[in-house]
Structures are given as C-alpha cells and as structure tokens.
Structure 1
Amino acid sequence: MAWPRDAQDVNESTARTPARPTGLSHNDVHGGNIMFGSFMDHPEHGRTPILKLLDFGLATRISSYHDDGTGEQRNILDIGIMMATIIGLQTDRKYTGEEIEVDLSALNRSEIVLSPASNLLEDRDMGTPDPFPQVDLHLRLITAACMASDPGERPSLAELENWVVNGISYGADKYGNITLERDNTIRKIVQQFIFNA
C-alpha cells in the first residue's frame, strides 16, 4: 500500500517499503479483497502463501495527518482488524473488541497503548482469561499494536515488517516443538482451510 506503483522488482517477496510513505489509504480492506497466491521456494512463503490486496477503487491519497491518521496508519489499522478477524475465525463479520491497555514491551516498545484488543488478549485488570492461548502471543501483540486507538502509536510499515520477519524466523522449537507450529503442519492447514475451502 505504501509500495511505489512503478517498482521494477518483480520478486513479490522482496520488501519494497519506500523511505517515505506515499499516503495511499486503501479504505476497503476485507476478506473479499484479499487473494492468496501460491507457496514459493522462499523461507517465508514456503510456509504460507503470499497475500495480495485487491480492489483499490476506494483508495485515496492522504497528503497530511488527519484525526484518524495518515494513509499508512489507516492501512495498518485495517491490517490489524483483518488479522484479528482471522485469529478469531470470525471471517463472516469484522472484528470488534473493547479497548484495553496493551503492554508492548515484548515487541521492544516501552509504551502501553490503548487498543480494542479485549477479544485477542487477556485483560488482567478485568480478570478475563486469555481467549486464544493457542495463538502466538507476539502475533496477537503485533495485531493489537496495529489497532492502537491513537494512530501515532501504530507501527510504521518498516517496524511491522521487522516484527513479522523476526517472528517467522523462529522454528517450532521456540514453541516447545508444538505440532501446530511445524512447517509441514502449517502447510497442511493452509491447504485445507484456504486452497481447499
């Protein structure tokens, strides 16, 4: 979304985040506008297919900061909402949650942000249990950061890319060799629930 339209590199797995975001806001991120590509011989896309965002018909260029953020910050919010929807397996409706305080120190951020992540994370202040203990906590924290109520507290595309690259570099041994975290298990799940759905 902040990638340059005239990028010459055809390798879709190559990061192409420009030095300055373009201000493009997609404005219509939902499951119907996401297409799955195929698996590739690549460390990341050997496990999960490339995702492509389609239909830029409602896209607008945000030239400066508004109350609801820059184009990049709006896109990051939409990505977070889409990820939360997928984590909750509620793809028939858009994710919603109550605003809670989220400690991002595990992502090397010192601040606590407000995020509508009550349906993703344990809220110790309210005594609610962890709704998804089987889903990687770092993934859920990244998702909560993307949905931060204050647009200025959302990660940049470059920061988000770093978090994701670091997250996928871990093997199943980081998770106690849990069967669900093994590459071949992930490929089977993707095949069954995405390609064979």
Structure 2
Amino acid sequence: MGDKTIRIWNLQTGENCYIINQHLAAVNTLAITPDNQTFISGSTDSTIKLWHLHTGELYRTLKIYSRAISAIAIHPDSKIIASSSQEGIIKLWNLQNGALLATISGFCPLVFSLDGTMLISGDQGGTIKIWQLDRGDNLPLIGEWWEILGVELKTHPKDVKLAYLRLAKLYHTDINSSVIAKTAIQAVNQAYQKFQQQLNTHN
C-alpha cells in the first residue's frame, strides 16, 4: 500500500489480523505461496520480504535491486520466486534459502504457467517473453527473434541493435554467473542473427 503498510484480513470474519509496517516505501506487489504458509511483498524501497502468513513474522529480506519492485510470481511447487523491477530485470530465487538462481531481462506483468513449465513476462514495446523451465531450473528463452530481443517487428535497426547490446551485456559471463546466462546469450545471439538475415534479405 502507499502508506508502506501491509494489512492481513480474515475473509470469514472481516477482521484485520495484523498490520505490517517494516517496508520503507510503498508496497507494490504481494503474493502467497500455494501452501498458504508464506507471503511475499515487493516494495518501492527495492526490497523483497518473506513473511510467515499466520504470524506476520519476517524471516528473510532479499535486496539485489536498485529500483522499485514491480511484480512477484511464485512457482506452483512453491520452490521458486520470480521478481521484476522497474529497471527491466527479472530475478529467480530459491524460496527455501533465498539463493539467487538466475537473472533475465523483462518487466511486469510476471506469471508462471499453471503446470510450472513456463515463465511469462512483459517487455518493452508491448511484447511478451516466454521462458521454458526444465527440471534443472534452466530457462531457455523461446519465441520469435523480436520477442527474444524485446522489440517490435518493425523496430528501427539501430534500436534493435541497442536492444541486442543491452541483453548481450546482461548475459555476459563476466557479469552474469547465473546458470541460465550461457543459454540466454545463445538465444539472444541467434535472435539477432535472424534479424540480420531478414534485414539483408529485404535490402
């Protein structure tokens, strides 16, 4: 909420169970794990906090963002959290120990498919990104070249190149040591190659 608080209510009685005021700025997004044991909050203060649902006790804070948290999604098996920020970065976390599993490019909205095999996110230019999640928590990006690069089909070539360079920097192994960086940069490189082939065909 805008007043920095989180209010938990009993739906049957309409009573306010408790109020949380440990965020330093507005709370933008909330999510509850499928087992109804944990709820997760994301705030403009650039933190993600994990709470015991029934007691309101804080048991973990995640802070590896520099800008406001805009969306949170929880994998159906309650083992992975996906979060996005206003800087266009999505991070995947191990819910049990708070370990960072992966860093990918994208914006809100953010949602896992019901069967847990895909992560879907928004991106710039009105596009969406679809990531295929395998049993090893690997997330190869699937889609057309413009979806992978996060641009529109008719985007100017200079802007396509800028989008490619931004992603290439994000997934460079010297900067991104996450498990998916190698497969992600391969997908980005292949997408840019397809764009160049299309551009050469039309010239």
Query: What TM-score bracket applies, with the shorter chain setting the length?
Result: under 0.3
TM-score normalized by structure 2?
Answer: 0.23
Structure with larger RCO (C-alpha < 8 A, sep 6+)? 1
Please say which structure displays the higher CA radius of gyration: 2
Structure with the largest fraction of helix: 1
